[in-house]
Amino acid sequence: MTLPLLAARRCWHAAINPLHATIYFSPDLGKELATLGIKDPVAVNLASRSAAMGAVGPGTVTATFYNYRHDLITRHLPAVWDTATPEQVLAARLRAADSTLRRLLGPEAIGSPEIAEAADLAMLATRGCTRHARTLYAAHADLPVPDAPHLRLWHATTLLREHRGDGHLAALLLAGLDPVEALISHTATGRGMSAKWIKAIRGWEQSDLDAATERLRERGILDADGELTDEGKAVRERLEAETDRLDAAPYEHLGEEGLTRLAELGGAFVTKAIGAGAFPRDLFGRA
């Protein structure tokens, strides 16, 4: 990359991914999908995340999500599509994004020129994205772009999030980390989901986590206390560096000045959203 080292990664983590991810922990999403008859929280999550791909079955979702337990997915897909269509779910998700951002950011921010500027910058970055081997990105890229600036920003962060995520899966395969090992090693960095949420959202049992932890110890990635070893830190950094390489194009297209401004604007919105309770307090960490 010609951009400053780690600049794109920092922007993605601080200003792009969290803004998109507010939807997954918003009560508004559950309320909207409940009006369609989808009330189970796991079904809500799976349907809202996969709807852009159409009424796909569990195999497709397991492959594209990477770190969900397959039998968790089979309990809800494809059955959920007998309750509501993907088009209905996508419309409900957009309504939930609207109400969520309005609640977290407030009317002043929603109507501000800054949110329109951030939306323009994020959409400009998406012009550098590519579709090949990027299943979730490509599916979302086929969706119409909303008119409202705050929803246009959320849509753009969705595209950028899935573009990086699709590349990250390729990097995980190259790193030799299976779904649970990927989650456990990420948690060990201090930035991944806690075991409580891995089990609640991804469907893994404690025995799965324990077995993956033991495999990582045998490979020298974790120590006896479950902390990353020097080799483990190196594995995680190589993983992120490869993800950066695969995800460089959108931010190269945006340019250094635009990237700096997007990080500034988006970071301020994310800070405001977190202050308004966008995420559970125990979402991240070792507990």
Backbone φ, ψ for residue 193 (5° rounding): -65, 150
- In this prediction, residue 5 has a pLDDT band, given cuts at 50, 70 and 90, of confident
Rounded-to-integer distance, Cα 5 and Cα 50, Å: 33
Rounded-to-integer distance, Cα 256 and Cα 146, Å: 26
3-state secondary structure of 222: strand
How many CB atoms within 10 Å of residue 56?
A: 19
**pTM (2 d.p.):** 0.95
Longest dimension (CA), the chain: 53
- Asked if 128 and 251 count as a contact pair (C-beta separation under 8 A), the reply is yes
Backbone φ, ψ for residue 70 (5° rounding): -60, -40
CA 82 to mean position of chain CA atoms: 26
- Write the pLDDT tens digit of every residue in 84-99: 999 999 999 999 999 9
Predicted pLDDT of residue 282: 81
- In this prediction, residue 287 has a pLDDT band, given cuts at 50, 70 and 90, of low
- Write the pLDDT tens digit of every residue in 127-145: 999 999 999 999 999 999 9
Q: What value does the mean pLDDT take over residues 94-113?
A: 98
Is the pLDDT at 235 greater than 80? The verdict is yes
Is the pLDDT at 257 greater than 70? The verdict is yes
Sequence-distant (≥ 6) Cβ neighbours of residue 170 within 8 angstroms: 133, 242, 246
Q: What is the DSSP string of 154-185?
A: HHHHHHHHHHHHHHHHHHHHHHT--HHHHHHH
Predicted pLDDT of residue 283: 81
Is the pLDDT at 166 greater than 90? The verdict is yes
